[in-house]
Structure 1
Amino acid sequence: MFSENDFIPHKYSQSIETGKFEWSSPSNIALVKYWGKKEGKGQQIPANPSVSFTLNNCKTITKLAFAKKQSQDTFSFDLLFEGKPKEEFKPKIEQFFERVLVYLPFLKDYHFTIDTQNTFPHSSGIASSASGMAALAMNLMSLEKALNPEMTEDYFYQKASFLARLGSGSACRSVKGEVVVWGEHKNIKGSSDLFGVEFPNAIHENFKNFQDTILLVDKGEKQVSSSIGHNLMHNHPFAERRFEQAHENLDQLISVFESGNLEEFITIVESEALTLHSMMMTSIPYFILMKPNTLEIINRIWKFRNETKIPVCFTLDAGANVHVLYPESVKESVLQLIKTELVGYCQNGHYICDQIGIGSEKNQ
């Protein structure tokens, strides 16, 4: 496992004038939630460990073209979103470049054209910052590998996750693996605050091709940015107990993933979702991010599960949309529930069908 200093290169064995790469990186949905950062501006160190399912269909596709330039005083890049200039995204990329310059010293040597698009609607409540920053990190690592062809695969992926984290914390869970852990946890070998790692323990067949149907209750802009939300955990009256709870729930998931116990899985995942929202409802300032339709969907999922004993559950990000999680074996029944009962609570009847994926992929 690599340390932070290992990611600072000393020299490169090759030079390259121009080129381009293209990567796609998925979003992910946390089962045990990351909410709150350790002190230290810009470091993106989680206050508690988290674990997520990597998605398959909801992803960002990013092309990175680069050309050597004369002046090396400043960063130089154009940013296109779905083929059109997107000036409002540029400050975030500039900030990201500043954070990672020590790890990617070539950043001021090139002019970059970053051309990015999502396979899902922007502002759909799906974590586009996670997939977007992961895709950018993968492209930048491809350039570094071209400058240093001796780089190992382990180093490539761990550094990509490390860099993605500095752009958006949860982005480090979108680099590699179906189930990814981020944050140090005593019972998970190799776990680190610096990057995400593939869950190293056994995973039961019940979780193979696990499904995630995302019900788009509210497709508007986030009511609370992630940065503001994480900062609400500083001096939060329940913060320390919450961080302990995350460790405990991750411990329980280790055995749940091994045994395939879906009942316990549902209890942990739904509790985590509601705890995330309870943290925001009990902070100062406080926020209620669920909408009336969010609660209607939750109640109808509970009713359906109680009546049918079908193992379907929900989780939530920091917003109103609902991720409906269920094994592939019950897909037909759950989609029937969504089409007949739940779609009416979605904005314009929109929902997205997804499932577990493997992480970022290079497009040839």
Structure 2
Amino acid sequence: MDYKNPKFIIDSSQLTPGKVRWRSPSNIALIKYWGKYGQQLPRNPSISLTLSQAATDTTLSYSAKQSDKEIDLDFYFAGESRPDFSLRVEKYLKILLPIFPFLGQLHLRIDTNNSFPHSAGIASSASAMSAIALILCSMEKRFFDSLSDSETFYQKASYLARLGSGSACRSVYPHVAVWGEAGEIPRASNLYAIPYADQVHDIFETYHDDILIISKAEKSVSSGAGHNLMEGNLYADNRYLQARQRMDNLTAAMRAGDLETFGKITEAEALTLHALMMTSNPPYLLMEPNSIAAIRKVQAYRAETGHPLYFTLDAGPNLHLLYPDNIATEVKTFIRSELTPLCQDGIYIADRCGAGPEELEADLNPN
């Protein structure tokens, strides 16, 4: 697949300034993507739930460029200039110049905001980079009257999002997405994610994911650094084999609506992810004492009630609590009484599987 297109040049002298705005969600991986090669390609397949409330709202404003910069970008996060974020986005846009050469003709301003704490173990790069990728595909459609087919639009957005952040490629699809070559899923690709909601039991369409904010602090080791450390991890090859086996077992459970098998594999994956961090060189630990206390409470609650409440973790200390809608009332009572005292400032995000990203009216820029 080669999206390079030197013909994507605009007549900047006739350009009318404009805006494009997308809201794109985060996602939570059930089979974890941890370890990569080449240009953001995964060592093993992954499957994720697309969230609803944990999302990034991004507006890109463009006008004709007056400077000689290769990428002329002003970047604002939560209304404040963030040179650190700007450098990452600028680097990403430079990678995309062969695909979208018109980016070198424009002055760009990006205003973005998260509905959740940045860098605390919710996939903020997934929602942020997928939002930018979707914006760029909308710009292509606007400037060149292309990508009119929805499937083609979202596949290209997923491909572009992957180049910014691997997990971002899954955020462009609703409810459930798969990324990475998987033997039991013929359409699965390392280059982009595919939608998978129509292949699983209907119960997952309204599945809950309540996120316990154990800590809002920025992670001591970024996900990018964690991926790089897998290259020297003694257990890496066995891990990639294990992930493929678990992928087959988990997708079978999700097709059947087997919540016990689904939950057991999901929890094992979460603990494996953090075990890989602890066996890296150098080793590191992202869970906090309250993370472990919450895990024990969840396991005790499940043993006592028989309710299929399970946890997973991303690369951070915050627990994602997964459960079906039919037990939501009881589980939320448990969360509020037993688990929010373990959260920083008593905060948790009541989330669930969502309908995917949404293009918004650009004039309603909240920044």
With normalisation by structure 2, the TM-score equals: 0.94
State the shift of 1:71 in Å: 5.2
1:57 aligns with 2:56: no
1:21 to partner: Cα distance = 0.8
Shift of 1:10: 4.2
2:95 aligned with 1:95, yes or no? no
Question: Is 2:137 aligned against 1:141?
Answer: yes
Q: Following TM superposition, where does structure 1 have runs of at least 4 consecutive aligned residues deviating by more than 6 angstroms?
A: none
Q: CA offset at residue 256 of structure 1?
A: 0.9
Q: TM-score, normalised by structure 1?
A: 0.94
* 8 Å CA contact 2:8, 2:100 repeated in 1: no
Matched to 1:244, the amino acid is L
Q: Are 1:158 and 2:148 an aligned pair?
A: no
Matching residue of 1:31 = 30
Percent identity reads 46
User: Which of 319, 335, 339 in structure 1 is aligned with 2:336?
Assistant: 339
SS at match of 2:23: strand
Alignment gaps of 5+ in structure 2: 362-367
Say if 2:14 is the partner of 1:18: no
Taking the aligned partners of 1:116 and 1:35, their CA distance within structure 2 comes to 26
Equivalent of residue 261 in structure 2, options 260, 264, 268: 264
The structural deviation recorded for 1:208 is 2.4
1:283 Cα deviation from its structure 2 partner:
1.4
Q: How far does the alpha carbon of each residue in 1:283-331 deviate from its partner, in whole angstroms, 9 at most, with x for none?
A: 1110121111111111111111011000000000111110011001111
Aligned to 2:115: 119
Report how many aligned residue pairs link the two structures. Answer: 357
Structure 1 residue 223 displacement after superposition: 1.4
1:301 aligns with 2:298: yes
Comparing 264-273 with 341-350, greater Cα deviation is found at: 341-350
Contact 2:175 2:197 in 1 (8 A): no
Distance in 2, matches of 1:167 and 1:24, equals 17
Aligned residue identity for 1:134: S
Task: Give the drift of 1:157.
Answer: 1.0
> Paired residue for 2:215?
218
Answer whether contact 2:197 2:205 (CA < 8 A) is retained.
no
Partner of 2:278: 281
Matched residue type, 2:241: E
How much does 1:147 deviate?
1.9
143-152 vs 66-75, which deviates more? 66-75
What is the rounded CA distance, in whole Å, between the counterparts of 2:283 and 2:120 in structure 1? 23
Question: Which residue identity does 1:313 align to in structure 2?
Answer: Y
Between the aligned partners of 1:206 and 1:20, the Cα distance in structure 2 is 38
Q: CA RMSD in A?
A: 1.5
Give 1:81 deviation, angstroms. Answer: 1.3
Match of 2:60, SS state, is strand
User: C-alpha separation between the residues in 2 aligned to 1:51 and 1:114?
Assistant: 30
